Homo-oligomer: A and B are copies of this chain.
Amino acid sequence: MGSKRVTLAQVAELAGVSVMTASYTYNQPNRVSDQARSKVLAAAAQLGYAGPDPSARSLRRGSTRTLGVVLGEHLSYAFDDPQAVSFLAGIADVCAGHGYGVTIVPITGAADDVTRVRDAAVDGFIVWTTADDDPIIAAVRATKRPAVVHGGPAVRGMGLVTIDNRAAAYAVGLVVFAGAQRPAVVSCPLSRERISTITPGVAPSSALFAVTRHRLEGYRQAAEELGIAWHDVVVAVCARNDVTEAEHITATLLASDEPPDAIAAMSDEQAAGVVRAAHAAGRVIPDDMTVSGWDDAAVAQRLGLTTVAQSLRDQGAACAQAALGGKPDSYADAWSVVRRTTTRG
């Protein structure tokens, strides 16, 4: 039993064959005679050879058989977000099917994130929804490896997998805002700073996350079509995608002079918080107030939420497929509005 690292050369020597025969034994077994193969395997067993070194192999082959996933500033956030997890599951599925591993690139929001992307031993990158000005985008691009962005921003030379958030927001906006006097939006962050704010008529263009921006645009279009001026629509921005924060901010909204009577939320988690706050404030849904969510997660079904259905899992799979060199199908139309009991009609 070799105490140090055993190499293929040592195995070959003990087996009395050339290094190449030993290599073939691991990579193209049929190309080797049974006799040679068993000699090699026996020698390997005797020496405790752990198999071809993956790094050496990657260097020689020019491929790591691994895809990198960049989950955004804070890893912790991502794992707390069930949608991000579904997305990851879709990636993992496809990668497993191709014999590829998935590496989570350790982003923390610190200055060395760029280095971490650069140093990741992967064949391609998948970037989870981020802001237009995220330096990660440039870092990924600098690696010159295939890359696919989910959600946005759209980047030249990189793939993009996303639904048409504007169209979806418009569609669900027409449902949730119908008949409302004072609609409001509970929004995802506008920028990586993730500041919570309550402001009427937020300019969609001020949102640096493409997904947020497009959804705000869609909601605005819906509101205006229903005869409501956008500057009268309060946008409550939550720092995190979290039931509790949405609940608090909704409570604040409902306690104001002109409380909203319709709230479009950007996730089902948030919508769940909205519903909770509404109940606490004695509002009856949908009579006193309507609510919509986003994603059609399990909680949406449980609460009877009207929401936008999309499959992050499928989108994750599509990203992986594209990063592996496949054709990126368009996901623009892969959404639908699910009407349940938190809206009228």
The answer to whether the Cβ of A48 comes within 8 Å of any Cβ in the partner chain is: yes
The answer to whether the Cβ of A64 comes within 8 Å of any Cβ in the partner chain is: yes
The answer to whether the Cβ of A17 comes within 8 Å of any Cβ in the partner chain is: no
B100 touching A143, Cβ below 8 Å: no
B76 touching A121, Cβ below 8 Å: no
> How far apart are A212's CB and chain B's nearest CB, in angstroms?
24
The answer to whether the Cβ of A119 comes within 8 Å of any Cβ in the partner chain is: yes
Q: Find chain B residues with CB under 8 A from A277 CB.
A: none
Q: Find chain B residues with CB under 8 A from A57 CB.
A: 119
A64 to B66, CA, bound (A): 13
A51 touching B143, Cβ below 8 Å: yes
A99 touching B112, Cβ below 8 Å: yes
A53 to B123, CA, bound (A): 11
A93 touching B121, Cβ below 8 Å: no
> How far apart are A182's CB and chain B's nearest CB, in angstroms?
31
Q: Find chain B residues with CB under 8 A from A108 CB.
A: 96-97
Query: CB < 8 Å: which of B85, B100, B118 contacts A51?
Result: B118
- A29-72, CB < 8 A from B: 48, 50-59, 62, 64-66, 68
A103 touching B102, Cβ below 8 Å: yes
A89 touching B75, Cβ below 8 Å: yes
Interface size range on A against B: 35 or more
The answer to whether the Cβ of A79 comes within 8 Å of any Cβ in the partner chain is: yes
Query: CB < 8 Å: which of B112, B122, B142 contacts A50?
Result: B142
A56 to B65, CA, bound (A): 15
B143 touching A64, Cβ below 8 Å: no
B54 touching A56, Cβ below 8 Å: no
The answer to whether the Cβ of A105 comes within 8 Å of any Cβ in the partner chain is: yes
Q: Find chain B residues with CB under 8 A from A48 CB.
A: 144
> How far apart are A2's CB and chain B's nearest CB, in angstroms?
9
The answer to whether the Cβ of A86 comes within 8 Å of any Cβ in the partner chain is: yes
The listed residue with most B CB atoms (<10 A of its CB), out of A51, A64, A99, A118, is A51
A76 to B120, CA, bound (A): 25
> How far apart are A244's CB and chain B's nearest CB, in angstroms?
11
The answer to whether the Cβ of A95 comes within 8 Å of any Cβ in the partner chain is: yes
A121 to B123, CA, bound (A): 13
A142 to B45, CA, bound (A): 10
Q: Which residues of A contact B (CB under 8 A)?
A: 48, 50-59, 62, 64-66, 68, 75-76, 79-80, 85-86, 88-89, 92-93, 95-97, 99-108, 112, 116, 118-122, 142-145
Told that A99-B116, A102-B103 touch, could you supply 4 new A-B pairs with CB distance under 8 A?
A51-B119, A54-B119, A95-B106, A99-B112
Would you mind naming 30 contact pairs between A and B with Cβ atoms under 8 Å apart? Answer: A50-B118, A50-B143, A50-B145, A51-B118, A51-B119, A51-B143, A54-B64, A54-B119, A54-B120, A54-B122, A55-B55, A55-B58, A55-B64, A55-B121, A56-B59, A58-B58, A66-B121, A75-B96, A79-B85, A79-B92, A85-B85, A96-B106, A97-B108, A100-B106, A101-B103, A101-B105, A101-B106, A101-B120, A102-B104, A103-B103
